[in-house]
Amino acid sequence: MTDAGDETAALVGATGGAGTTRLTIELGALLANDGRKVAVFDAAFATQGLSDYLPGRINPDLTALLTDERDAPLSAGLVDFPLDDAAGRLACCPAAAPFERIARAKSPAAAQALESRIAAAADAFDHVLVDTPPVAANQAVAAVTAAARTVVVAPATTRGRDGVQRAIGRLDDLEVGVDAVVATRGDLSVADAAVPETEGEVTAAPTCLSERSTAAAVADVASVALGVDPSTGDGQGLLDSVGEFVSR
């Protein structure tokens, strides 16, 4: 395991379609808006959802940095997320690759390269977030073992609740502890924080910078996932300034 620092977190989907990518973007945007430098990795190679949030051509993507362009600097694969007037930076390393390269990026050697990339990002950024699929492939194992914190993300459904237990079991097998459980699209009894269902297309994200209720929910996630309380810039934490919207 590569030591990636205390401010790295793997957000792990308990099921497919848990909303992990959207939550990762919202959390990264909130932290960047607070003046922090945030890097986001897309380890969900099958869905490649992070690329849907980003403008322009993606070359090289994360899978290339783990295979054909392993000697390239991390900066070559980073795409800045467009955030108006943000005091910080949200830099994304998306996956956007053909099936053949995706297969090679799931190899044990590529998983070791991912650990190294996460460690490199931890040296350059205040926070590193890894959008991680359910733990069933090498890159997911690399993400949860490289990150200092692990957060299980589950939809507020019976399937999501069952998925949390399955995810915790797999992480136990890897001797990886779970630092928090976050429910999406509602609440779960096993969740430490919950974010409401958001309306609109992918291009509408992040909504946490324009909707106070979403901001409060994502700030709650920041607290349980990273142990931080994003500031609003007026001497108060975001949870203090919009505390009336926090239902937990």
The full DSSP string for 116-149 is HHHHHHHHH-SEEEEEE--S-SHHHHHHHHHSSE
What share of the chain has pLDDT > 90, as a percent?
81
> In this predicted structure, what is the pLDDT of residue 244?
33
Name the band, by pLDDT with cuts 50, 70 and 90, for residue 19. very high
Please tell me the pTM assigned to this model: 0.90
User: The dihedral of CA 129, 135, 140, 146: what is its sign?
Assistant: positive
Give the CA distances from residue 137 to residues 16, 53, 127, 170, 234, in Å, rounded to whole numbers and listed in that order.
14, 24, 24, 11, 44
Helix (H, G, I), strand (E, B) or coil at 203: helix
Residue with tokens 């991390």: 74
The domain 8-245 having CATH identifier 3.40.50.300: the answer here is yes
Whether the CB-CB separation of 41 and 66 falls below 8 Å is answered with: no
Confidence (pLDDT) at 203: 54
- Asked whether residue 77 carries a pLDDT value surpassing 50, the answer given is yes
Q: Could you give the percent of the chain with pLDDT greater than 70?
A: 88
Average the pLDDT over 113-133 and give the result. Answer: 97
Q: What average pLDDT is seen over the chain?
A: 89
Better-scored residue on pLDDT, 131 or 247: 131
State residue 217's pLDDT score: 95
The DSSP 8-state label assigned to residue 38 in this structure reads E
Taking the C-alpha atoms of 127, 188, 160 and 245 in order, what is their torsion angle to the nearest 10 degrees?
Answer: -50
Residues 37-43, mean pLDDT to the nearest whole number: 98
How would residue 199 be classed by pLDDT, with cut points 50, 70 and 90? low
Q: What local confidence, expressed as pLDDT, does residue 242 receive?
A: 35
Beta bridge partner(s), residue 128: 8, 39
Q: How many Cβ atoms from other residues are within 10 Å of residue 236's Cβ?
A: 13
